Amino acid sequence: MATQASPSMNLESKSSKLLKDLLASGRPILYIMTAEEQRVSRLLREGAQNFFAAPLPYWSWSLTDGLIDPNGIKSEHDTTNPRAALDFIANYQGPAIFHMKDFHDALHEAVVVRRIRDLYELCFGQSKFVVISSPIRFIPEEISRNIVYIELNIPDFNEIKTFLEEQATAIVAKGGTVDTSEETLIHMTRALQGLTLDEAGFAIHRAVAGTGHLGMDSLPVLFEEKRLLVNRSGTIQYIADGAKIETVGGLEVMKKWLLERRQLFLMRDSIGAELVPKGVLVMGVSGCGKSLSVKAVASCFELPLYRIDMTEIFSGRHGNPEWAFARACRTMEAIAPAVVWFDEIEMGITSAESSGEQGRIFAFFLTWMQEKVRGLFVAATANRIDLLPAEMIRKGRFDEVFFVDIPMDEERIEILNIHLKRRGIDPTGFGVERMTKLTKGWTGAECEQCVVSAVTRAKLENREMTLEDLLRTAGNIVPLSRTMKEQVDHIRSWARDRAAPASLGDHR
Ligand SMILES: Nc1ncnc2c1ncn2[C@@H]1O[C@H](COP(=O)(O)OP(=O)(O)O)[C@@H](O)[C@H]1O
Ligand SMILES: [Mg+2]
């Protein structure tokens, strides 16, 4: 794709670079928290081959097999006992990498902890490394300063692409066919971004299973697998809605702005960082098209859309909210390029217990907005904007803050037309303009509801829908702006001085 800095074979992945830096620093004991043990193994093997002037032997250890040497042969002594394994490492001559799988359990033993401290001294500066991998973090206090702890982020574009190329070779070896043109590989890698390598492998197998072929026509299967797998994380949801910008009625100012940003965003790799659009905050009255607009942004920017569920983040079901939020943000960086949507971002403010925690989460968010990778466009939406901290709205955080108000006369007509068309009704000559007065103060959602009710009524009576149906249905709709007048007025007056109107003119 034109926007991707032309990827060549085996570009270094972020994880690989991180590992390289850590090993180069000479600290001999690493603790990697991850559920992807296989991937750590791959990364370490590759690192052992490539990071040093001469390749290092790669040993692995597990409770069931003990130590296994670089040729895949079990050690002649029984080293299933963690203490015995550490003794072996202590006496081992020369540089090597020892990958200790699930070693966290052994760290409950005082003698093992003691031995780790000895190893730290013995291995320091010797190019002899002990790398513990585990799905949980358990580091006894006594050795916390001897151990470098990292959490492995999900694989990035380059790591997935390399993996995909290996999988392609394996598929071909088994008699399948793969379209390995660079363009197809890039599309497939994009489709798999956001998954662990295990998950990516699983998705690839699913795609190949039916046809024995992997290529452009496998993309829908890959995307569907991703939707299922990413959604399982609980805090991030992959949205495959694809609403087009033409389905958003009114909001001309915001739409024009988005189309301009689109140009800049597509040029992101060739222009200065300060010019690359970072994101937009859309606030305003409920039901007026904020969520719809965000979906349109994604399809307009030709990017996948991910929604971060603030209610889930704050629920505590995914661990400490601060941690869950930071993890979701980091995951998104690995998935980039994408649009990341923080829906009803003020949720955090109304449902969190401690205000200290909220403050920290918002501070983290704003810093992250400034530092995040170029390929992520942030779209945040908010209903109760008066709850947002002032620094969120201040210029420079988001590229623009839009206020979406109750639609104006022409906007409502446009919205009614859009929804009529969507239901297969040609609105030309229908006289929808006659709805202008009746629909004053309605939200976009209410306009849609009116169309749906009228269409349903006609269907039930087995006839074509008429303007009469619309007019009659309209009489039964009590708009939110009337039932919740005070709240709507409050939001409006609050936003007027603080945000740019998303629509032209001010005629309400
Ligand atoms: N400006 C609009 N143009 C077209 N449809 C709209 C508009 N505003 C609202 N709608 C309809 O109402 C539904 C709900 O709107 P939504 O975007 O979820 O509102 P919000 O996020 O602002 O609460 C949309 O899915 C869409 O069908
Ligand atoms: Mg919404």
User: Which residue's CA is the closest to the ligand 1 atom numbered 17?
Assistant: 289
- Between 403 and 396, the more confident residue is 403
> Which atom of ligand 1 is found nearest the CA of 247?
4
355 band by pLDDT with thresholds 50, 70 and 90: low
Give the domain CATH number at 123: 3.40.50.300
Domain annotation covers residue 467:
yes
Query: b or e along 292-319 (b: 16 or more beta carbons within 10 Å of the residue's beta carbon)?
Result: bbbbbbbbbbebbbbbbbbebbbeeebe
Which two structure tokens, joined as six digits, stand for 462? Answer: 């087995």
Answer yes or no: do 303 and 396 share one domain. yes
The answer on 33 and 129 residing in a single domain is: yes
Are 457 and 421 in contact, with CB atoms under 8 Å apart? no
Asked if residue 498 is part of any domain, the answer here is no
Residue nearest to atom 1 of ligand 1 (CA): 249
In this predicted structure, which of 2-11, 271-280, 424-433 has the lowest mean pLDDT?
2-11
238 is a domain residue = no
Question: Given pLDDT bands bounded at 50, 70 and 90, which one contains residue 295?
Answer: very high
Does one domain contain both 250 and 395? yes
**Mutation choice for ligand 1 from 285, 292, 408, CB with most ligand atoms inside 8 A:** 292
- Is 257 found in the same domain as 143? no
Is the domain of 256 the same as that of 400? yes
pLDDT at 349 over 70: no
Rounded alpha-carbon distances, angstroms, from residue 418 to 184, 217, 259, 296: 35, 31, 20, 14
Does residue 450 line the site of ligand 1, with CB under 6 A?
no
Helix (H, G, I), strand (E, B) or coil at 436: coil
180 and 47 belong to one structural domain = no
Phi, psi of 144 (to 5 degrees): -60, -30
Report the domain count for the chain: 4
pLDDT tens track for 1-12: 333 433 344 578
Distance between CA atoms of residues 85 and 79, nearest Å? 5
291 domain residue, yes or no: yes
287 Cβ inside 6 Å of ligand 1:
yes
| Of 232, 266, 293, the domain-final residue | 232
Which residue, 151, 186, 213, sits at the end of a domain?
151
Question: Do residue 330 and residue 260 come from a single domain?
Answer: yes
Q: Domain check: are 375 and 250 in the same one?
A: yes
pLDDT for 131 equals 98
Q: Which ligand is nearest to the CA of 404?
A: 1
CA of 237 relative to ligand 2 center, distance in Å: 15
Q: At what angle do helices 157-173 and 182-192 cross, to 10 degrees?
A: 110
Rounded mean pLDDT, 267-277: 87
Ligand 1 lined by 379 (C-beta under 6 Å): no
User: What is the residue with the minimal CA distance to atom 16 of ligand 1?
Assistant: 289
Per-residue pLDDT reduced to its tens digit, 194-246: 888 988 999 999 999 988 999 999 998 998 888 787 777 789 998 887 899 99
Statement: residue 436 has pLDDT above 70: yes
In whole numbers, what is the pLDDT of the chain averaged over residues? 89
Residue 107 lies in a domain: yes
pLDDT band at 250 (very low <50, low <70, confident <90, very high): very high
pLDDT per position as a tens digit, 124-167 = 989 999 999 998 889 999 999 999 999 888 888 899 999 999 99
Question: Are 258 and 380 contained in the same domain?
Answer: yes
pLDDT band at 348 (very low <50, low <70, confident <90, very high): low
**Model confidence band, residue 449 (pLDDT cutoffs 50, 70, 90):** very high
Same domain (yes/no): 370, 251: yes
239 within a domain of the structure (yes/no) = no
Q: For ligand 1, is residue 415 a contact (CB within 6 Å)?
A: yes
Quick one: three-class SS letters along 6-20? CCCCCCCCHHHHHHH
Which structural domain, as residue segments, surrounds residue 217?
157-232
For the CA of 448, the nearest atom of ligand 1: 11
Contact assessment for residue 277 and residue 399, using Cβ atoms and an 8 Å cutoff = yes
Q: Is 145 helix (H, G, I), strand (E, B) or coil?
A: coil
pLDDT, tens only, 46-68? 999 999 999 999 999 999 999 99
Cα distance between residue 304 and residue 189, in whole Å = 13
More confident residue, 461 or 359: 461
Ligand 2 center–CA 287 separation, angstroms? 7
- Of the ligands numbered here, which is closest to the C-alpha atom of 343? 2
Residue 289 has pLDDT above 90, yes or no: yes
Q: Which atom of ligand 1 is nearest to the CA of 295?
A: 17
Residue 376: pLDDT over 50:
yes
Mutate to test the pocket of ligand 1, among 282, 345, 347, 448 (most ligand atoms within 8 A of CB): 448
* Residue 350 confidence (pLDDT): 55
Q: Which-ligand-closest: CA of 283?
A: 1
Q: Closest ligand 1 atom, CA of 285? A: 22
Residues 146 and 162 in one domain: no
Residue 494 is assigned to a structural domain of this protein: no
Residues 299 and 388 in one domain: yes
Q: Whose CA is nearest to atom 26 of ligand 1?
A: 445
Residue 343 Cα: closest atom of ligand 1:
21
Last residue of a domain, one of 187, 204, 232: 232
Note whether residue 487 is domain-resident.
no
Pocket of ligand 1 contains residue 19 by CB under 6 Å: no
Compute the distance from residue 292 Cα to the ligand 2 centre, in Å.
7
Q: How far is the CA of 406 from the centre of ligand 2 (A)?
A: 14
Evaluate: CB of 418 within 6 angstroms of ligand 1.
yes
* Secondary structure (3-state) at 231: helix
